[in-house]
Structures are given as C-alpha cells and as structure tokens.
Amino acid sequence: AMQRAAGSYARAGGGREPAVNDQAKQTEAARKKTAEATLAGIPQHELRERTPEERTADFVRDYNALYDVPGTMFQKKKAQDDFIRDHEVQGMRCTNMQLRHSRPELEPRFVAVTPTRDADYWGMPLGNNLFAVVPNPFLVYGEEMHTAGGMREAFNSNYRLGNTYGRFTIKEAAIFQFGTIGKVFRRGQLEAEQ
C-alpha cells in the first residue's frame, strides 16, 4: 500500500518535488552565499602573537597621530582616552625630581601614577617588566623636565636650553624597566616643537 501511495504521489507531481521546495532551495542557496560572503569579509585575526617591536611601532604611530585629531577639545580628549585604553597605558613620573635639582648626576627613578592623563610619561607594557615610553602629549618640556624630570636621560632630542616645548614627534619610544622602581632601560628619540 505504501509503494502505491508513493507511486501515485510521484505521478501526480510529474516525477518532481513540488515547486515550493524549489523556491526554498533557491532561498537557502542565496542565504548560504550571503552568509559565506559576510564571513569572508570578517578580518582574520593574526594567528601569532605580535612582537614587542610591532606593538611599539603601533604605539608610536598612534601617539604621533594624537596631535592631528580634528575637532573639539572633547574629541581630542576622547582620542587620548581611547589611546590610553587601547594600549593599556600606565602613567609614570620621575620620583626623585626634587633631589635631582641639586644633584642632576643622580639617575632618574620613575614610579607609576594615576590618573594616567596627569602623568609626565605614558608607558605601554611590553612584558618582562619593560614598557615602551613616550612623554604625555600635554607635557610642558622646559629646563626643569630636562635637567631634573628625566627627559634628557629618557630621550635624545633637539632640546635647547631656554626653550619650552609642547609637541613631540616620537622617532623611537624609550624603554623603561620597572621593578619596584622604574629606570631608563633604552633611550628613545624624539623631535620637540615649541
């Protein structure tokens, strides 16, 4: 009886499945094609961990771009907040600055400070207690920061006595090493503008 029913069904449909199923197949095929195209458009994450050098290059590029953010002060501040968040920036300052006024030969020592926005230096963690370091983009770089605040030890620059600088183009980030206290591990390179 089952065979007879199946045979009469096939004859009634002319040996094909009903047209509704053809439409459903076309819809499903189109949906699948759209899904595959959408998935193909998602950027592939890098399979390997990015090196400290690659991360530092991005950090420096993004830092230098902060000066060129268009718009209001609010938009500029938001760009800086995003930079701080995206690069996990730690604020730092020279802790023996007062002592170095009278004894500039002393090696500068750095400590972490919050909020990051108020720190003299911004550091991105690289691992193994090393940080890629840049000056706070709002830092006023004058004689005090040069002789006592750690800038001359942290960066080779075009600083000239008697001038005050407020904009920096980082050529190479400084590297600070942090244990209980921070110190300059490798000098960076920057160009300062008044």
The per-residue pLDDT for 175 is: 96
Q: Would you state the pLDDT for residue 48?
A: 67
Cis peptide before 115 (omega within 30 of 0): yes
The pLDDT assigned to 30 comes to 79
Q: What's the rounded Cα separation, in Å, for the pair 139 and 165?
A: 8
Higher pLDDT, 16 or 21: 21
- What is the C-alpha to C-alpha distance for residues 157 and 93, in angstroms, rounded to an integer? 19
How high is the pLDDT of residue 27?
81
* Cα–Cα distance, 154 to 8 (Å, whole number): 89
Lowest mean pLDDT among 101-105, 119-123, 177-181: 177-181
d(CA 108, CA 147): 10
pLDDT for res 49: 79
Place of tokens 């968040």: 85
Query: What are the pLDDT digits (tens) for 27-86?
Result: 878 777 766 666 666 555 545 678 999 999 999 999 999 999 999 999 999 999 999 999
| Predicted TM-score of the model (pTM) | 0.74
Does residue 92 carry a pLDDT above 60?
Answer: yes
**Pick from 11-25, 149-163, 175-189: least confident:** 11-25
Q: How far is CA 140 from CA 39, 54, 78, 108, 171, in A?
A: 48, 29, 21, 18, 19
Q: What is the pLDDT of residues 105-157, one digit of tens each?
A: 999 999 999 999 999 999 999 999 999 999 999 999 999 999 999 999 999 99
